[in-house]
Structure 1
Amino acid sequence: MKEGGTDVEAFLGACDSLRGHYESLCEHLVVVLMPVRGVDASAWLKWLGRAVEKAKSVHVRLVVLEDARTLVLEPLAEVQPERVVTIPAKLEMGRALEELSQEAGHLDTPGGKFRELFVRLGNAATKEDVEKVERLGAQAVAVAAGQGLYSLVVTAHFVMGGALLGAGRPREAWEHYRQAEAAAGESEAKGEPQGAQLRLKSRMAQGAARVTAQEYPQAAKLYEETAPLARELKDARMELECWRMASWCCEVAREVERAWAHGQRAWEVGRAMDAGTRETSTLPYVGEALVRLSHERQGARAVRAMESEVESVLGNDWRPETPAAGGQPG
Structure 2
Amino acid sequence: MELPKLRKPVLERLERLRTQWRTFIALPESRLLHWVFASDELSMLETLLTVEEHGSGTGPDLFLRLTSPLRSPEHYDHALAQELLTRHAALRERLAAAGVESSWQPPRVAPEAAPLSVMALAASIHQHYSPRFRHVALVLMPESMASEKAWAQWVERAVRGPFAAPVRWVCPEPGERSALEQVARGTPRLIHTCVAGLDMATALEEISEAAGDLDTPEGRFRHLFVQMSRALGAGDLRRAEQCRTEAVEMAGARGWRHLQVVAWVALGSGLLSAEGPKAALAEYRQAEAVALLAQEEGDPSGARLLLQSRLAVGSALVASADWKNAASVYEQVAALAAQIGDPLMELEGWRMAAWCHEQAQSWEESWHCGTRALEAAQLMDAPARQNSTLGYAGADLLRLTEQVHFKDKRTELEQQMEHLLGPEWQPTSPGVPQA
2:54 to 10, 13, 35: 35
Mean alpha-carbon deviation: is it higher for 98-107 or for 165-174?
98-107
CA distance in 1, matches of 2:372, 2:199: 48
1:157 corresponds in structure 2 to 264
Taking a change above 3 Å as real, the CA distance of residues 306 and 129 of structure 1, as seen in their structure-2 partners, is: same
List alignment gaps of at least 5 residues for structure 1: 1-31, 52-71, 80-89
DSSP 3-state at the match of 1:321: coil
1:198 corresponds in structure 2 to 305
Residue type matched to 2:311 in 1?
M
1:284 to 376, 380, 391: 391
DSSP 3-state at the match of 1:303: helix
CA distance in 2, matches of 1:77, 1:127: 40
Q: Give the deviation of 1:245 after TM superposition.
A: 1.0
Q: Give the deviation of 1:207 after TM superposition.
A: 0.6
Instruction: Indicate conservation of the 8 Å contact 1:217/1:253, yes or no.
Output: yes
CA distance in 2, matches of 1:273, 1:299: 26
Q: Give the deviation of 1:168 after TM superposition.
A: 5.1
Q: How does 1:80-91 map to 2 (within 5 A)?
A: none
Taking a change above 3 Å as real, the CA distance of residues 323 and 257 of structure 1, as seen in their structure-2 partners, is: same
Q: TM-score, normalised by structure 2?
A: 0.54
Q: Give the deviation of 1:282 after TM superposition.
A: 1.4
Residue type matched to 1:175 in 2?
A
2:246 to 117, 124, 139: 139
Instruction: Indicate conservation of the 8 Å contact 1:294/1:306, yes or no.
Output: no
Residue 317 (1) aligns with residue 336 (2) = no
1:246 corresponds in structure 2 to 353
Taking a change above 3 Å as real, the CA distance of residues 308 and 108 of structure 1, as seen in their structure-2 partners, is: closer
Q: Give the deviation of 1:91 after TM superposition.
A: 7.2
Query: Once the two structures are superposed, what CA deviation does each residue of 1:235-285 show, in whole Å capped at 9, x if it has no partner?
Result: 111111111111111111111111111112112221332222222221111
Structure that is richer in strand per residue:
2
CA distance in 1, matches of 2:53, 2:134: 21
2:404 corresponds in structure 1 to 297
Q: Give the deviation of 1:176 after TM superposition.
A: 1.2
Q: How does 1:40-79 map to 2 (within 5 A)?
A: 40-41=90-91, 44=94, 47-48=97-98, 50=100, 78=134
DSSP 3-state at the match of 1:295: coil
Q: How many residues align?
A: 267
1:171 corresponds in structure 2 to 278
Taking a change above 3 Å as real, the CA distance of residues 50 and 281 of structure 1, as seen in their structure-2 partners, is: closer
Instruction: Indicate conservation of the 8 Å contact 1:295/1:302, yes or no.
Output: no
Instruction: Indicate conservation of the 8 Å contact 1:165/1:173, yes or no.
Output: yes
Structure that is richer in helix per residue:
1
CA distance in 1, matches of 2:291, 2:430: 31
Runs of 4+ off more than 6 Å: 36-39
1:124 to 231, 242, 249: 231
Q: Give the deviation of 1:163 after TM superposition.
A: 0.4
List alignment gaps of at least 5 residues for structure 2: 1-50, 56-64, 66-86, 102-125, 136-196
Instruction: Indicate conservation of the 8 Å contact 1:49/1:76, yes or no.
Output: no
CA distance in 2, matches of 1:120, 1:303: 52
Mean alpha-carbon deviation: is it higher for 142-151 or for 129-138?
129-138
Taking a change above 3 Å as real, the CA distance of residues 147 and 44 of structure 1, as seen in their structure-2 partners, is: same
Taking a change above 3 Å as real, the CA distance of residues 167 and 41 of structure 1, as seen in their structure-2 partners, is: farther
Q: TM-score, normalised by structure 1?
A: 0.70
Residue type matched to 2:302 in 1?
G
Q: Give the deviation of 1:110 after TM superposition.
A: 2.8
Q: Give the deviation of 1:211 after TM superposition.
A: 0.5
Instruction: Indicate conservation of the 8 Å contact 1:98/1:120, yes or no.
Output: yes
1:221 to 321, 328, 347: 328
Aligned residues: CA RMSD:
3.4
Identity over aligned residues, as a percent? 39
Mean alpha-carbon deviation: is it higher for 303-312 or for 176-185?
303-312
Instruction: Indicate conservation of the 8 Å contact 1:216/1:250, yes or no.
Output: yes
Instruction: Indicate conservation of the 8 Å contact 1:133/1:163, yes or no.
Output: no
Taking a change above 3 Å as real, the CA distance of residues 295 and 121 of structure 1, as seen in their structure-2 partners, is: same
Q: Give the deviation of 1:47 after TM superposition.
A: 4.4
CA distance in 2, matches of 1:233, 1:146: 27
Which protein shows a greater Rg? 1
